[in-house]
Chain A
């Protein structure tokens, strides 16, 4: 029988994988789902670029052309919106899975790449949110960039580089557009490729070899099948959401009109809540940086051991899991408080 060359999707995986960890119930496919949503965002985003105009006068109008006039534009924009929100969720859940099942053990550098990808995902979602250019997003942009201004020393210089002038205006929208469609997106594409490559290079999904003998393994076709099902289900959820729930679209931004209430995008509501009580630099700059730093050093400071790899709530990793869960609980509590307001 002639040897059949594996197709591209088989080629991405090692020939065999540990049986226990290849099951859907271990990873929930969250890393792969994030990657799939990133690809969907790339495709739908490029399509939106054919109509979207990043100018103060036309931005909101061109979003309406996509939404109301272009055939299936509403579906396209809804899919881009929902894929973005789902990706933020999938990335955060993926991180939680890796912490709680000791997946970072022995692959600390890939954990750091993952942290960079988390930051990039949030920045991509925020810059995209601004491009919508309605009243909500305009004030998120004003407060977000003014936070940069509060950094001692380099703040004002950084603000002008970010905003492209003395105050938020045309240059700001264009700069955020460039960051969103290529600057940040390219960095995220490179890092997610590297992130996936590191998993492959480290021998596939993290797993434990039970005492002495190697763990039972399955062929990669089994994993590819599971991944295909997960991908189809993800796309079904995405298209379903996009058909039944419209992406928000408020009145066009006008930086001279006060609004009754301005809410941050949902993943920054916890920062907005902190800002209500704590000084801007502390709440808006140091707190998010502290969260990112604490998460980054988990495998370097709180759990340096290899024992417990691939084991949910493993004993050696209790401290790291505790730190993560406390951060997650605080952020969730603040978010809920902001949502109920």
Chain B
């Protein structure tokens, strides 16, 4: 492309006839300037692209609340397992007390569905989990998380989504 432009210049430029037969007076200077032009174009584009990437990394909203009230303890009667949408978790009540299982599949984040009988199934890629969240079959590799439960000052049960606990943990009936 540079060659073609040069040729056009030589044909139409004011001193076309006198210079066309001779080589350019300072080839190394020309080369240097061409290199400088290309180099600065690349540098400016790279810098601009870097800033565009930073622009894209902007996050407007803060994180979603991680402590979510789900209702009074009495709403979760013994022997039941209830899905609470706001917390995206199943809240259960067994002999030890209340517990919460995260409904977010550990594979790719779909919400698992409670199966008639026992356990959970993921609608997206077919992972199966036992009632305690253990993987029964893949593709998920990790068990469903158990989430910490607590009581807030209003006497409501809260699910703490950012606080996984051991599967044995229970919010005791005495608390």
- B59 at the binding interface (Cβ < 8 Å): yes
> Across the interface, do B109 and A142 meet the contact criterion of CB distance under 8 Å?
yes
Give Cα distance in the complex from A157 to B54, angstroms.
11
- B24 at the binding interface (Cβ < 8 Å): no
> Across the interface, do B59 and A166 meet the contact criterion of CB distance under 8 Å?
yes
Chain A residues, Cβ within 8 Å of B103: 258
Chain A residues, Cβ within 8 Å of B112: 258
CB interface residues, A 136-174, toward B, < 8 Å? 139, 142-143, 146-147, 157, 160-161, 164-167, 169-171
- A34 at the binding interface (Cβ < 8 Å): no
Closest Cβ of chain B to A287, distance in Å, is 14
CB < 8 Å neighbour of B108 from A170, A255, A280: A280
Give Cα distance in the complex from A261 to B126, angstroms.
9
Question: B88's closest neighbor in chain A, by CB?
Answer: A256
- A278 at the binding interface (Cβ < 8 Å): yes
Closest Cβ of chain B to A164, distance in Å, is 6
- A257 at the binding interface (Cβ < 8 Å): yes
> Across the interface, do B61 and A142 meet the contact criterion of CB distance under 8 Å?
no
Interface size of A by CB at 8 A reads 32
Proximity bits, A173-205, B CB within 8 Å = 1, else 0: 000000000000000000000000000000000
- A262 at the binding interface (Cβ < 8 Å): yes
- A260 at the binding interface (Cβ < 8 Å): yes
> Across the interface, do B126 and A276 meet the contact criterion of CB distance under 8 Å?
yes
> Across the interface, do A257 and B85 meet the contact criterion of CB distance under 8 Å?
yes
Chain A residues, Cβ within 8 Å of B126: 276
Interface size of B by CB at 8 A reads 29
CB < 8 Å neighbour of A139 from B59, B88, B107, B124: B124
Question: A256's closest neighbor in chain B, by CB?
Answer: B85
> Across the interface, do A157 and B57 meet the contact criterion of CB distance under 8 Å?
yes
- A101 at the binding interface (Cβ < 8 Å): no
Chain B residues, Cβ within 8 Å of A171: 59-61
The B interface, classified by DSSP as helix, strand, loop or mixed, is: loop
Give Cα distance in the complex from A161 to B54, angstroms.
9
> Across the interface, do A262 and B124 meet the contact criterion of CB distance under 8 Å?
yes
Proximity bits, B79-121, A CB within 8 Å = 1, else 0: 0000101101000000000000001000111111110000000
Give Cα distance in the complex from A303 to B60, angstroms.
50
Question: A170's closest neighbor in chain B, by CB?
Answer: B61
Give Cα distance in the complex from A53 to B60, angstroms.
19
Give Cα distance in the complex from A167 to B88, angstroms.
13
Give Cα distance in the complex from A160 to B63, angstroms.
12
> Across the interface, do A146 and B109 meet the contact criterion of CB distance under 8 Å?
yes
CB interface residues, A 247-271, toward B, < 8 Å? 254-262
Give Cα distance in the complex from A160 to B61, angstroms.
12
Given known pairs A276-B125, A277-B138, the reply for A164 and B60 (CB within 8 Å) is yes
> Across the interface, do A259 and B123 meet the contact criterion of CB distance under 8 Å?
yes
Chain B residues, Cβ within 8 Å of A147: 108
- B21 at the binding interface (Cβ < 8 Å): no
Give Cα distance in the complex from A194 to B139, angstroms.
42
Give Cα distance in the complex from A169 to B53, angstroms.
20
- B56 at the binding interface (Cβ < 8 Å): yes
Question: A277's closest neighbor in chain B, by CB?
Answer: B139
> Across the interface, do A142 and B108 meet the contact criterion of CB distance under 8 Å?
yes
- B1 at the binding interface (Cβ < 8 Å): no
Question: A264's closest neighbor in chain B, by CB?
Answer: B124
Given known pairs A166-B63, A256-B86, A262-B124, the reply for A278 and B110 (CB within 8 Å) is no
- B64 at the binding interface (Cβ < 8 Å): yes
Q: What are some 9 contacts across the A-B interface (CB < 8 A)?
A: A139-B110, A143-B125, A166-B64, A258-B103, A258-B113, A259-B111, A275-B125, A276-B138, A277-B138
Q: Which residues of chain B have a CB within 8 Å of any CB of chain A? A: 53, 56-61, 63-64, 83, 85-86, 88, 103, 107-114, 123-126, 138-139, 141
Kindly list 5 other residue pairs between chains A and B, CB separation below 8 angstroms, not including A160-B59, A258-B113, A275-B125: A161-B56, A166-B63, A171-B61, A275-B108, A276-B125
